[in-house]
Amino acid sequence: MALAGPARAQAPAGEPAAAGAEDPQARGQRLFEEGSAAYNLGRFADAIARFEEAYALLRASSLLYNLGQAYAKAYELDRDVARLRQARLLFTNFVKIREGTGEPIADARERVAAIEAQLAELERAAAANAKVEPPPAASPPPAPAPAPAPRRPYRPGGPGYAGIGLLAGGALAGAGLAVTGFVSAGRLADQRAAEGSQVPLSLARSDEYAAHERKASALAWAGVGVGAGLMLVGAVLLIVDARRGHRPARRAAAPRVVGPALAWHF
């Protein structure tokens, strides 16, 4: 029996199977026929599986030829070079086995030569592609970040000293007036309550207490406003003086006494 399609190796011959259970010879013949049917339908992976099972049972050299055909056809579908190399190996083994029997092997030799030429062409194409494709350019190293300019210590000038004075004076004056006013208002309220607990206060006396409490509260809030205003002006003077430029200092300690003045670092 010959394999239908391009393969021309003969199917393995064997004795007819005895009635009853399928013996290895009959099973091998059946697997060969199933592989031939799969080959003719273009299911080359199934054909390879059936032919390999049949060869394990029959050890017939003709199955090597059929397997070589199936692997070569499978390569035409998926372009897996490993299948083409396997086909060359199978055809080569078929030639080696048949050389000692005197059977025709010219067709198998031609297939080995054709596959070797095809593999050589694939290797040349791969080498050419490797030469044409330039290596990926190495990305240049990132430019170093510019070093921050060294800052010199700030030494206040005339506006700076004035700002420092206003900050200190505003804090002291505002706190002093605010504390005095709020404390006085609290004491007046306590005194009015104590006096009113003994005898009812007259309208004139109540108005007098209220007037004094208003004056004390006004003094307190005036202190808050004056202190905040002086400190705001002082802060503005310091900022303006600092933006005019840092003046060089002998040392970078902060703060430190330089004669009668103070050196500040911002």
pLDDT, one tens digit per residue, over 37-71 is 999 999 999 999 999 999 999 999 999 999 999 99
Q: pTM for this structure?
A: 0.45
59 inside domain:
yes
Predicted local confidence at residue 265, as pLDDT: 42
Q: Are residues 33 and 114 in the same domain?
A: yes
7 inside domain:
no
Residue that wins the pLDDT comparison between 48 and 158: 48
Q: Are residues 171 and 229 in the same domain?
A: yes
Q: Are residues 246 and 163 in the same domain?
A: yes
Predicted local confidence at residue 151, as pLDDT: 64
224 inside domain:
yes
62 inside domain:
yes
Q: Are residues 120 and 190 in the same domain?
A: no
Given 112, 127, 142, the domain boundary residue is 127
Q: For the chain, give the percent of residues with pLDDT over 70.
A: 79
Least confident range from 55-59, 75-79, 136-140, 218-222: namely 136-140
For residue 227, give the nearest of 175, 183, 184, 179 by alpha carbon: 175
Predicted local confidence at residue 113, as pLDDT: 96
Q: How confident is the model over 68-86, as a mean pLDDT?
A: 96
Rg value, the chain, Cα: 54
Q: Are residues 197 and 258 in the same domain?
A: yes
Q: Are residues 122 and 200 in the same domain?
A: no
165 inside domain:
yes
71 inside domain:
yes
Give the tens place of pLDDT for each residue, 141-154: 787 777 676 666 66
Helix (H) or strand (E) run with residue 262 in it: strand 261-263
Confidence of residue 161 (pLDDT cuts 50, 70, 90): confident
Q: How many domains does the chain have?
A: 2
- Alpha carbon 218 to its chain centroid, in Å, reads 64
Which residue type, as a one-letter code, is found at position 78?
D
Say if CB 160 and CB 247 are below 8 A apart: no
150 inside domain:
no
100: domain CATH number? 1.25.40.10
Predicted local confidence at residue 208, as pLDDT: 87
Residue matched to tokens 């694939």 = 122
Predicted local confidence at residue 149, as pLDDT: 62
Q: Are residues 166 and 258 in the same domain?
A: yes
Q: Are residues 102 and 169 in the same domain?
A: no
Q: Are residues 121 and 165 in the same domain?
A: no
For residue 160, give the nearest of 251, 246, 248 by alpha carbon: 246
Confidence of residue 134 (pLDDT cuts 50, 70, 90): low
113 inside domain:
yes
How far CA 125 is from CA of 77, 78, 79, 82, 128, in Å, comes to: 19, 18, 14, 16, 5
Per the structure, the complete domain to which residue 66 belongs is given by 24-127
Q: How confident is the model over 250-265, as a mean pLDDT?
A: 46
Q: Are residues 104 and 201 in the same domain?
A: no
